[in-house]
Chain A
Amino acid sequence: MTELSLRGAELDKTRMVRLLQDYGVYAGVVVLFLVNVVVTPNFVSAENFRTQAVQVAPVLIVALGMALAIGSEGVDLSVGSVMALSTSLISLYLGYGPWIAILVAVLGGMLVGLANGSLIAFVGVQPIVATLALMVAGRGLALVLLPQLKDIRDPGMAALGSGGVLGIPYLALIAAALAVAVAFVVRRTTFGRRLLAIGDSRPAAQLAGLPVRRVLIGAYVLSGALAALAGVLATARLTASDPTSLGTLMELSAITAVVVGGTPLSGGRVRIGGTVAGAVLIQLLTATLIKHDLPPSWTQIAQAVVIVAAVYAARERGKR
């Protein structure tokens, strides 16, 4: 009898740990939200929610692509530079109208992704090295195309950046739609299944006859396209193209959102819901500290704490 209950307790404990690992990030978001409701004046207001949503959208979109790269046992450090490249292209091609400009910007991001993916899949360069090279080259190219900050005066772009439907900003709607689309790709398509298999065990995937190169390239092209889109949205929000500073350190924020969301860096698993929650968590954390007038260094320390906690939880999962 005692033995049975003891065994039950053990099982409960493992289950608790698992639940915490799987849903901890959501719990974190809820807790932080509730804390803010109590301690932050004017937190519960439509205006504040809109601001938060608009601010998180670009990071979130970049993080979706990053999650794919990380799921393939890689990483994409070039995302920030792709955003810069995208903003340069927008400003260069805006003369042809916003749609053409956006299309060119996204194509530019996809090209960077193609270069990343080819270096990784065909040449066999480590993802961190390949995307580092494109990170440097991408921002360089962005600055060559547009050497300094330039205002964007286009009603279409301005509407995209600050408009919305039923009070919900376009930026938030687009980010949400993309999150749903990427989740669908990961869960329901052969591409998604193969990506996870390759990320988990590349030799096994190769021997199982999967088109490893094509899938890897696809992942980085998607990541490039998403980063470019994030660049478009950020440009629209700022109504200016600033290739010097747009997207700097974006790769770190995106990796943080992905890791905090429970996607392991070792590949083979992608959690889109977690990634969204991770991005929101970091955003809330930053906003909270700023609202209470704490210096920016505090924000960084808080981010670091969250990352360490997430990595610790992942370690526990590995050990079981």
Chain B
Amino acid sequence: MSQDHTTPVRTGAVLVADEVTKAFPGALALDRVSFAARAGEVHALIGENGAGKSTLIKVLTGVYAPDAGTLTYGGEPVRFGTPLDAQHAGISTIYQEVNLVPLLSVARNLFLGREPRTRLGLIDFRRMHRETDAALRELGVRVDVTRPLRSLGVGAQQMVALARAVAVDARVVIMDEPTSSLEPREVRTLFGVIRMLRERGIAVVYVSHRLDELYEVCDAVTVLRDGRVVHTGPLAGLDRLRLVSLMLGRDMGEVRSEGATKFSGDHDPGTQPVLSAEELSLRHTLHGVSVRVRPGEVVGLGGLLGSGRSETAKAIAGALAPDSGRVVVAGAPVRTGSTPAAIRAGISLLPEDRKAEGIVPGLSVRENIALAALPALSRFGLVDEARIDAVVDTFVRRLRIKASSPRQRVGELSGGNQQKVLLARWLAMQPKVLLLDEPTRGIDVGAKAEVQGLVDELAADGLGVLLISSDMEELVEGSDRVVVLKDGAVVAELTGADVTEDALLHAIAATGEAAA
């Protein structure tokens, strides 16, 4: 028992899963998984894309009923019929795909299902707005709480989800990739919150692909591989390399080179810019942003949440219509505010919000990959199935997309695999300019290196890349140049040897003070 690395220690456990099995058509997502979340402990749950992490969380919180196995909560066997049951019992969850209501206000979302009432039984909006504002301010987020949630970036939405999760009195708090869209500053805030939860004796379950983060806050770790527990125990004494090798099921030597950022960051750009965006302005968000990308160059966009990076990318790709400004691709002006025009000119945008703006959940992996490239993959309006198969096959192998078949619905894939499908859609376009907004969000270490390698390769072939990433290391390693934005304007540009994490942090902080 003591030497068994796959059976969890039960002492002090609040929420226990015992030999839980969950199968989907075509995939055994959980295979006799045992897991224990203990009071006052932060428990990391890691594994490759599609390993079963989100499924385990959904079984723990009543989204799915297990096919076999039992759950124990506070010493008693339980069976949650719905996520609401779990929530009422004191399990508070942030799911991987932010599952708030996009059209309702920030405040309504925070209080969904437990709205404060006036004496007349109506919703007490004033109190709700006041308390929401206070709760978010405590997390360092300042937004108008009456705005619809959907108007916030994904990162800010994650912070709202966090505020919601900790606002209720919970015994267990579960977070499925809460940091995937957060900036270093927000990540620090989050870790502060997690430590506070731990001190209060709350059991925390924490899923992340950013392995370095784990060492800052986690006490224990459980590693899943193909639906099985391959290791569980204290985190101390396990180094990053060991974690990676456990996740991938390969030995350390093989793994050594992987896991670290794979970008080479050295390209030999041409001289004429393939993309130049001049003086883009958009009411309230962009104020005369100019960015140039030469062929073979990777230009990073740095800045904090809400600094206008995603908006810049969207304005270039025609998804937002700028009030003024020009976009020129390879010398030819592009009509702004039209996605088809931008795409025809050779601009591809991988959007930040894959759930709302990226995947078409009901269509298959195959249709999703071929979607944008359809004109090139068809003749006289008829789809050329053979060519689609060839393209899809290449990317499924190259990006290691884990699906039961190319005909599986994308909505059924794990989060990271959905991201890979989206990437494949845009790579299949063979664009001249690729705008990547958080390209490796939620992608496991192995595939991350693959994606970064692929981007590097494309850059070497003369593609211009604009890279947005909340992962500082990725941004710095991957970019030849970094343009720093602040409040919708360019405030600094780092080139050559200046492209370092320190310089970037400094640039962001310095301008932050100047403006404050």
Q: Which residues of A contact B (CB under 8 A)?
A: 3, 6-7, 10-11, 14-15, 18, 188-191, 193-194, 196-197, 200-201, 203-211, 268-269
Residue of B nearest to A10 (CB): B67
Q: Which chain B residues border A14 with CB–CB below 8 Å?
A: 25
Total A-B pairs in contact (CB under 8 Å)? 90
Q: Say which residue of A18, A210, A268 sits within 8 Å of B363 (CB atoms).
A: A268
Q: Say which residue of B25, B343, B351, B371 sits within 8 Å of A193 (CB atoms).
A: B371
A254 to chain B, nearest CB (A): 22
B358 x A204 contact (CB < 8 A): yes
Query: Would you give the 0/1 interface string for B345-382, flagging 1 where the beta carbon is closer than 8 Å to chain A?
Result: 00001010000111111110001001110110010011
Residue of B nearest to A209 (CB): B343
Q: Assuming A7-B68, A204-B357, A206-B339, is B371 touching A190 (CB within 8 A)?
A: no
A269 x B378 contact (CB < 8 A): no
Q: Which chain A residues border B440 with CB–CB below 8 Å?
A: none
11 other contacts beyond A14-B25, A197-B363, with CB at 8 A cut-off? A190-B378, A190-B383, A193-B367, A193-B370, A196-B360, A196-B363, A204-B356, A204-B358, A207-B357, A208-B425, A269-B362
A-B contact pairs, 17 of them (CB 8 A): A3-B21, A10-B67, A11-B23, A11-B25, A188-B382, A189-B382, A189-B383, A190-B375, A190-B382, A193-B371, A193-B383, A197-B363, A200-B362, A201-B356, A203-B357, A207-B339, A210-B371
A307 to B344, CA, bound (A): 44
A7 to B227, CA, bound (A): 15
Q: Assuming A10-B67, A18-B25, is B360 touching A201 (CB within 8 A)?
A: yes
A184 to chain B, nearest CB (A): 9
Q: Does B340 contact A (CB under 8 A)?
A: yes
Q: Which chain B residues border A7 with CB–CB below 8 Å?
A: 21, 23, 67-68
Does more than half of chain B's interface fall in helix, strand or loop, or is it mixed? mixed
Q: Does B252 contact A (CB under 8 A)?
A: no
Query: What is the interface size of chain B, counting residues whose CB is below 8 A from a CB of the partner?
Result: 33
B455 to chain A, nearest CB (A): 20
Q: Does B91 contact A (CB under 8 A)?
A: no
B139 to chain A, nearest CB (A): 28
B487 to chain A, nearest CB (A): 25
A209 x B342 contact (CB < 8 A): yes
Q: Assuming A207-B339, A207-B349, A268-B360, is B381 touching A6 (CB within 8 A)?
A: no
Q: Which residues of B contact A (CB under 8 A)?
A: 21, 23, 25, 67-68, 317, 319, 339-340, 342-344, 349, 351, 356-363, 367, 370-372, 374-375, 378, 381-383, 425
Q: Which chain A residues border B362 with CB–CB below 8 Å?
A: 196, 200-201, 268-269
Q: Which chain B residues border A15 with CB–CB below 8 Å?
A: 25
* Chain A CB within 10 A, most for which of B360, B371, B375: B360
A18 to B24, CA, bound (A): 12
B374 x A207 contact (CB < 8 A): no
Residue of B nearest to A268 (CB): B362
Q: Which chain B residues border A194 with CB–CB below 8 Å?
A: 371, 374
Residue of B nearest to A203 (CB): B357
A203 x B363 contact (CB < 8 A): no
Q: Which chain B residues border A188 with CB–CB below 8 Å?
A: 382-383
A6 to chain B, nearest CB (A): 6
A199 to chain B, nearest CB (A): 8
Q: Which chain A residues border B357 with CB–CB below 8 Å?
A: 203-204, 207
